[in-house]
Chains A and B, each alone.
Chain A
Amino acid sequence: MTGTGKPVSIALANCAKTFADGTRALEPLDLAIHAGETVVFLGPSGCGKTTTLRIIAGLEEPDAGGKVLFDGVDVTHLPIEQRNVGMVFQSYALFPNMTVAGNVGYGLRIRKVPDAQVKARVSEMLAMMQITRLADRRIDQLSGGQRQRVALARAIAVRPRALLLDEPLTALDAKLRDTLRLDIDSLLRSLGITAIYVTHDQAEAMALGDRIVVMEHGRVAQIGKPREIYQRPATRFVADFIGTMNRLTGTARDGVFRCKAGAVAWPEAPATATEILFRPEDIRVAGSGEAASLQGTVASAFFLGDRTRLFVDVGEERPLVIESTARRDFQHGEAVGLAIDPRGLLVL
């Protein structure tokens, strides 16, 4: 059994955090995390995501009145060393005075597990993270990716009730980030552990989260599955923070939204709409002879191999972003007709 104990459900009730200098890091927050679920806290720096994680971990106590429950049991005043949660940090936080194996076995030795069992569990963990050959290395002999694998193995070795990850991939370069993200994903699935993952990277959040909690200025902006958050953002902040959002300003009348560059047929258009939003994948360059609802000129075109990213000027404050898979060149200043899929339109 490589897994952990029974996964725990976590609930926050009325958890706020005000620091000693009076800064409000977190507005009162209620949140229920199901057992075995991976929840991602996503937001820009200073949004309160790390503070929330630290409250769950037991490294911070919420302001008076706030409660943290593990499987319904109040753990608010239980210090972290008694909560049995695994933590993974952006800076790895490996013990420099111990080997890789020493780090992974540390939590077990603290629990006074017999040496033979520690050894067995450590080699099991190292094998699982594919770092068996590093067992006797010193920490300063490891690359960043290897360090984070050691940190994951160390956190999981003690069979924690929940795994808390604070920006674990942020310090790694892009390619390594992708590989390790896949590994973390399969790890969390196979362990079935309750996991909380803090990041400012929306791609990581979308890939890993069963649910995403988008945070802004110490408040929750939206909670939902990645698809819901992407397709139905609740606020302008969420719409802008996650993915790319195009906007057109104008007026709606009789199921048609009119703007500077043309008119978009949208039968459900609310009469009060003065701005519509849509994703790059819901707009395309119209083929010759096809009806185009908007006219624009190409401001810039970036050939990315599998597609071309176009920035098309339509007389708005910002050019529209369009991903074209057409096998053709786009010239700067070229006039293009655009077709919009009304199913992707949003008003916020």
Chain B
Amino acid sequence: MRNELRRLIFLLLPAGIFFAGFFLLPMARLFFIGGSGKTGWAAYAAILTDSNYFNSLLSTLAVAAATTAATLIISGISGVFLQRNRFPGNGMLVAMLTFPLAFPGVVIGFMVIMLAGRQGLIGQVTQALTGEKLVFAYTLSGLFMGYVYFSIPRTILTVMAAAEKLDPKLEEAARSLGASPWRVVLDVIIPGLKPAFISAGAICFATAVGAFGTAFTLAAKINVLPMVIYTEFTLSANIAMAAALSFVLGAVTWIVLALARTAAGSSVAAAG
């Protein structure tokens, strides 16, 4: 028994050291630096009271939530389709989908500008059609588009892997009981893909909250938290505020994901 415990501690040691060294200690330090500025611990309160900080926190979460929702819908539909339908070029298409995974945020931002920027494709088309140039690359909409673009590949791959494991007999059973194709999606396919949606959605949300390169490229009017942190840190040299914002960004993301997981878990238990 004693040996067993000792072995367990020994086996957990590498992970423990890593966790402490790269997560607990820096987070603690970050937390204390956040309270070490001119205003002291009020820096944390400022995030809620200063409308500039608070709005950027809200828009960061809003863009991340919208990105997650849009990505899950698009990837859910295409992932199931790509898994179920074999057509010439299917494998090629799936392989191509992994392209954006390798792009740095700057490249994604550049592509958004090419599409929806002042000289972009959408601008040219809308000008030719309506005489008015539609430009949204430099706003939250542009950021949203870029995030959706690079979130889709990994989400589709996760959905495809999960769709492969769905039991086709479940769908046949539902249909035999009179379920229309739409009801089958609602009652069988979506519940079956739910674990994949939760894990892919969590990664998607966290990535969108923290992504910086794309926002930096589009810059201008975008006021998301990673940008604010960068500004505080480099331009204002307000290290305490940057630290406080970073800590809150991490904590809020963690809380949102934990809530999402609990909600999903309890709804599974309630339905089952």
Interface assignment of B179: CB less than 8 Å from any CB of chain A: yes
Would you call B177 and A107 a contact (CB within 8 A)? yes
Interface assignment of B268: CB less than 8 Å from any CB of chain A: yes
C-beta contact mask, A123-149 vs B, less than 8 Å → 1, else 0?
Answer: 000000000000000111000000000
Task: Given the known inter-chain contacts A95-B188, A97-B191, A98-B271, please indicate yes or no for A81 contacting B170, CB distance below 8 A.
Answer: no
| Residues in A neighbouring B131, C-beta threshold 8 A | none
The stretch that binds B, out of A5-13, A86-94, A210-218, A232-240, is A86-94
| Residues in B neighbouring A207, C-beta threshold 8 A | none
Interface assignment of A246: CB less than 8 Å from any CB of chain B: no
Determine how close the nearest CB of chain A comes to the CB of B88; give it in whole angstroms: 14
Would you call A99 and B272 a contact (CB within 8 A)? yes
* B187 and chain A: residue at smallest CB distance: A95
| Bound-complex Cα distance A320 to B178 (A) | 52
Would you call B167 and A91 a contact (CB within 8 A)? yes
Would you call A97 and B178 a contact (CB within 8 A)? no
Interface assignment of B29: CB less than 8 Å from any CB of chain A: no
Would you call B167 and A93 a contact (CB within 8 A)? yes
A-B contact count (CB 8 A): 73
Would you call A106 and B272 a contact (CB within 8 A)? no
| Residues in A neighbouring B183, C-beta threshold 8 A | 110
Task: Given the known inter-chain contacts A93-B167, A93-B169, A97-B191, please indicate yes or no for A111 contacting B176, CB distance below 8 A.
Answer: no
| Bound-complex Cα distance A139 to B191 (A) | 14
Interface assignment of B180: CB less than 8 Å from any CB of chain A: yes
Q: Main SS of the interface on chain B?
A: helix
| Bound-complex Cα distance A80 to B167 (A) | 17
Would you call A97 and B272 a contact (CB within 8 A)? yes
Interface assignment of B175: CB less than 8 Å from any CB of chain A: yes
* A137 and chain B: residue at smallest CB distance: B272
Task: Given the known inter-chain contacts A97-B191, A97-B271, A97-B272, please indicate yes or no for A87 contacting B170, CB distance below 8 A.
Answer: no
Within B162-201, the residues touching A (CB, 8 Å) are 167, 169-170, 172-180, 183, 187-188, 191-192, 194
Interface size on A, residues (CB 8 A): 32
| Bound-complex Cα distance A94 to B167 (A) | 10
Determine how close the nearest CB of chain A comes to the CB of B1; give it in whole angstroms: 32
Q: Main SS of the interface on chain A?
A: mixed
Interface assignment of A158: CB less than 8 Å from any CB of chain B: yes
Determine how close the nearest CB of chain A comes to the CB of B70; give it in whole angstroms: 25
Instruction: Select B176's contact among A81, A91, A95, A102, beta carbons within 8 Å.
Output: A81
Would you call A158 and B178 a contact (CB within 8 A)? yes
Would you call B179 and A155 a contact (CB within 8 A)? no
| Bound-complex Cα distance A138 to B174 (A) | 18
Would you call B272 and A93 a contact (CB within 8 A)? no
C-beta contact mask, A72-88 vs B, less than 8 Å → 1, else 0?
Answer: 00000001111011110
Write 11 A-B pairs (CB below 8 A) sorted by A numbering. Answer: A81-B176, A87-B173, A95-B187, A96-B191, A97-B187, A97-B268, A102-B271, A106-B177, A106-B179, A107-B178, A110-B179
Residues of A within 8 A of B (CB): 57, 59, 79-82, 84-87, 89, 91, 93-99, 102, 106-107, 110-111, 138-140, 151, 154-155, 158, 164
Residues of B within 8 A of A (CB): 167, 169-170, 172-180, 183, 187-188, 191-192, 194, 268, 271-272
